[in-house]
Amino acid sequence: MKLVMVLMLAVLPLCCYAGSGCSLLENVIEKTIDPTVSKEEYRDYIQAFTQSKTEENVVDEFKQCFLQQSNETLANFEQMMQTIYNSVFCKIF
């Protein structure tokens, strides 16, 4: 499960770098950590990036990981993501 999360977090920045726009990345991250967004809504939102039933299942498991976290953990995760994207190293790209 941790590997799935690492892979998803590694792929999303590449989509941003490839020219699809960082606003897309920010929106996906927002929906990922938002506890009011259900797995079905999340799957529908990123449907363009899933091509098979297996990938949809992975997306469901990924979202479920965040649904099981406390609000404090989600807030800390959001703060970590902001720190990463505001860092000097991220601005190089």
CATH of the domain at 69: 1.10.210
pLDDT score of 82: 79
pLDDT at 3 over 90: no
Q: Residue 88 corresponds to which tokens in the numbers above?
A: 């000097």
Overall average pLDDT of the 8-19 stretch: 54
What is the domain count for the chain? 1
Answer for the pair 43, 53: CB distance below 8 angstroms, yes or no. Answer: no
Answer for the pair 18, 28: CB distance below 8 angstroms, yes or no. Answer: no
Q: Residue 21 corresponds to which tokens in the numbers above?
A: 């726009």
pLDDT score of 12: 57
Neighbours of 67 (CB within 10 A): 16
Determine, yes or no, domain membership for 4.
no
pLDDT digits (tens, 9 = 90+) for 48-90: 888 899 989 999 999 999 999 999 999 998 888 878 777 666 5
- From 23-27, 40-44, 68-72, 78-82, the region with the lowest mean pLDDT: 23-27
Determine, yes or no, domain membership for 77.
yes
Report the largest interatomic distance among the alpha carbons of the chain, rounded to a whole angstrom: 38
Determine, yes or no, domain membership for 47.
yes
Secondary structure E strands in 1-93? none
- Position 9, amino acid: L
Domain of 30, in residue numbers: 22-92
